[in-house]
Amino acid sequence: MSTPLSTAVDVAADPNWWRQAVVYQIYPRSFADANGDGIGDLAGITSRVEYLASLGVDAVWLSPFYPSALADGGYDVDDYRDVDPKLGTLDDFDEMIGALHAAGLKLIVDIVPNHTSNRHEWFRQALAAEPGSAERNRYIFRDGKGPDGAEPPSDWPSMFGGSAWERVPDGQWYLHLFATEQPDLNWDNREVRDDFLTTLRFWADRGVDGFRVDVAHQLVKDLREPFPDRASLDLDNLPHGSHPFEDRDEVHEIYAEWRQVFNEYDPPRTAVAEAWVHASRRARYASPLGLGQAFNFDLLQSDFDAASFRRIITHNLTDARQSGASSTWVFSNHDVVRHATRYGLPAAQGKHQNGHAWLLSGGTSPELDVDLGIRRARAATLLMLALPGSGYLYQGEELGLHEVGDLPADAMQDPAYFRSQGVEKGRDGCRVPLPWTVDGPSFGFGTGTAHLPQPAWFGPESVQAQDDDPSSTLSLYRRALSLRRKLQAAEELEWVDDLGDSVLHFRRPGGWESITNFGAEPVPLPAGVVLTSSPLGDETVLPPDTTAWIS
């Protein structure tokens, strides 16, 4: 383990630990399977704490591990204050958090407040109760339109395709902005608000250090009748805060209450909002009076392009200064095509990101440049890890894993695939269980067959294959994270404009510099290189698609 105990103790005492932390996202069902049933579990995570510590991250963000029928990969929660029996027990949770803390790692858990699952006790009660009852009022039930109310209350589509309304046997309809199995909660109901405060305290009391808040921007809705039709709204030109379901100002009243709960603890619990809102609105979620930090997905949505990266970095650092939060940076998570793959494809045209068409083709077209993708991903990650603020990593990116593009139809699990009737391929390709060993059943993920099929090329990309190889992506992440601990300084960045438009060169306090060559030609490299994202041929030049750290 490379984390010295003294660092662990210092970090634990520091209420600002989150400001420049590197957080590693675990999608628990696909990380490590301790009991061989094909599904990753909490004991599997505990067994890999040493790996996480030696990687050098500061914290783990755990995607939902709550009881769930997995209609949406666990984001359909049956019970917010328990562990899915397929993943373990509350005792396993305590053991896991104990092991993480002992290794100096923090734990952030995912909270899903916009919707429960349709198996949640409240939703069962709502179905059994009368229209207009207190039980139904925890959700958003409405009568339908047209004769016999047989038409949905509005034309609103679900994020995963199809209508956002589902009819129940007595004829009423309920709102689900995501899958049918994810009924939206009514956040105008005080009982709903109080119950989530109980949930936050439940996990904070168990030692959880922070929360990742799922679709944080959608909780509050304009529930006045009649429900607006989507077709009647000019969505691109709605004034901020006036969308019926998204980013309404009143949502911050909820997070102000959550903040009070976070501040009951020492150190205060942290939170990061998943809020897909206009950049100018993000600061409200990141306010110290609210959740404290918010994801910015700008880099994740950008091509590998110097001007675009620079614009994004500059405005996010400005926003962070204004909100009092630190900035967040992320390239990959459980919802998007892995960045190694995005960067190995030609820049996307139109509204979809790189990888969309490629996924639909089953990973055949446009042709993926596997090596270029990894080279650029490594360069981008090294740049990102030198930025002021927190970096969020997604499991497997430290192995340089590509998206699995050729999952067979009968293996698919994502509701986005089923509800769109295959128009969307969904997110399963970044959720394939991790390869730990070069061979063996499920490449060391467990002793059984993994719940999503792993491709043969996972073996050579496994942890075992990369562990002792100094040129591997895993070795690069380890070296970068360990150096970052030493070089990390105040949250400031100064651009150095010396190498042309296709190079991003910046300086951090204390003499730490990062230079990324996005261009097609090598550029001169100053002396003092401590790390490069790819090997240099000549120590005095930085090749294309490469980042160098200088100190």
* Interacting residue ranges for ligand GLC, rule: CB under 6 A: 72, 75, 112, 178, 214-215, 274, 334-335
CB neighbourhood size of 539 (10 A): 10
Q: How far is the CB of 289 from ligand GLC (least distance, A)?
A: 24
Q: In the structure encoding, which two tokens stand for residue 249, read together?
A: 């100002």
| DSSP string covering 197-257 | HHHHHHHHHTT--EEEETTTTSS----PSSPPPGGGS-GGGPPTT-SSSSS-TTHHHHHHH
The DSSP bridge pattern shows strands 59-62 and 106-111 to be: parallel
Residue 72 binds what, of Ca ion, ligand GLC, none (CB under 5 to 8 Å, by partner type)? ligand GLC
CB of residue 189 to ligand GLC, shortest distance in Å: 19
Residue closer to Ca ion by CB (options 86, 375) is: 86
- In DSSP terms, which residues pair with 145 in a beta bridge? 151
- Give the residue with the Cβ less far from ligand GLC, 28 or 104: 28
In this structure, what are the phi and psi dihedrals at residue 20, rounded to the nearest 5 degrees?
-130, 35
Query: How far is 289 from 21, CA to CA, in rounded Å?
Result: 20
Based on CB atoms, which residue is closest to ligand GLC, 112 or 204? 112
Q: Does 35 bind Ca ion (CB under 5 A)?
A: yes
Instruction: Give the number of other CB atoms < 10 A from CB of residue 208.
Output: 21
- DSSP label at 12? H
Stretch that binds Ca ion, among 35-43, 290-298, 322-330, 513-521 (CB under 5 A): 35-43
Pick the closer one to ligand GLC by CB: 199 or 516. Answer: 199
Q: How far is the CB of 274 from ligand GLC (least distance, A)?
A: 6
Catalytically annotated residues: 214, 264
Residue 37 binds: one of ligand GLC, Ca ion, none (C-beta under 5 to 8 A by kind)? Ca ion
The residue sitting closest to Ca ion, measured at its beta carbon, is: 41
Is 40 in contact with 28 (CB distance < 8 Å)? Answer: yes
Q: Does 298 bind Ca ion (CB under 5 A)?
A: no
Do residues 185 and 113 make contact, with C-beta atoms less than 8 angstroms apart?
yes
Q: What are the Cα distances from residue 483, in Å, to 13, 35, 332?
A: 22, 36, 22
For 131, residues 6+ apart whose C-beta sits below 8 A from its C-beta are 141, 143, 170, 172
Measured CA to CA, the distance from residue 366 to residue 290 in angstroms comes to: 43
Of residues 39 and 525, the one with the C-beta less far from ligand GLC = 39
CB of 524 to ligand GLC, least distance (A): 42
363/515 Cα distance (integer angstroms): 32
Query: Binding segment for Ca ion among 34-42, 123-131, 408-416, 520-528 (CB under 5 A)?
Result: 34-42
Q: Which is nearer to ligand GLC, 19 or 217 (CB)?
A: 217
Residue of minimal Cβ distance to ligand GLC: 75
Smallest gap from residue 387 Cβ to ligand GLC (A): 23
CB of 351 to ligand GLC, least distance (A): 18
- Distance between CA 302 and CA 300 in Å, rounded? 6
Q: Hey, is 313 helix, strand or coil?
A: helix
- Min CB(214)–ligand GLC separation in Å: 5
Q: How many chain residues bind Ca ion (CB under 5 A)?
A: 5
Cβ distance to ligand GLC smaller for residue 274 or 403: 274
Closest CB to ligand GLC among 58 and 110?
110
Of 217, 326, 272, nearest in space to 25 by CA: 272
Cα–Cα distance for residue pair 420/59, rounded to 1 Å: 35
In whole angstroms, the minimum distance from the beta carbon of 88 to ligand GLC comes to 21
Which one of Ca ion, ligand GLC, none is in contact with 39 (Cβ closer than 5 to 8 A by kind)?
A: Ca ion
Q: Is 83 in the site for Ca ion (CB under 5 A)?
A: no
Three-state DSSP state, 535: coil
Write out the two tokens for 91.
């005792």
Partners of 546 in the beta sheet? 517
What phi and psi, each to the nearest 5 degrees, are found at residue 3? -80, 110
User: Looking at 26, 33, 70, 93, which residue binds Ca ion (CB under 5 A)?
Assistant: 33
Look at residue 335 and give the partner it binds from ligand GLC, Ca ion, none, a contact being a CB closer than 5 to 8 Å depending on partner kind: ligand GLC
Q: Which does 33 bind (CB under 5 to 8 A by kind): Ca ion, ligand GLC, none?
A: Ca ion
> Parallel, antiparallel, or unpaired: how do β-strands 210-213 and 270-273 relate?
parallel
Please pick, from the candidates 23, 32, 41, 516, the single residue that binds Ca ion as defined by CB under 5 A. 41
For Ca ion, which residue of 26, 32, 39, 45 counts as binding (CB under 5 A)? 39
Q: What is the DSSP letter of 515?
A: E
Partner touching 110 among Ca ion, ligand GLC, none, CB below 5 to 8 Å by kind: none
- Which one among 1, 8, 12, 37 touches Ca ion, defined by CB under 5 A? 37
Q: Three-state SS for 524?
A: strand
- Positions touching Ca ion (CB under 5 A) are 33, 35, 37, 39, 41
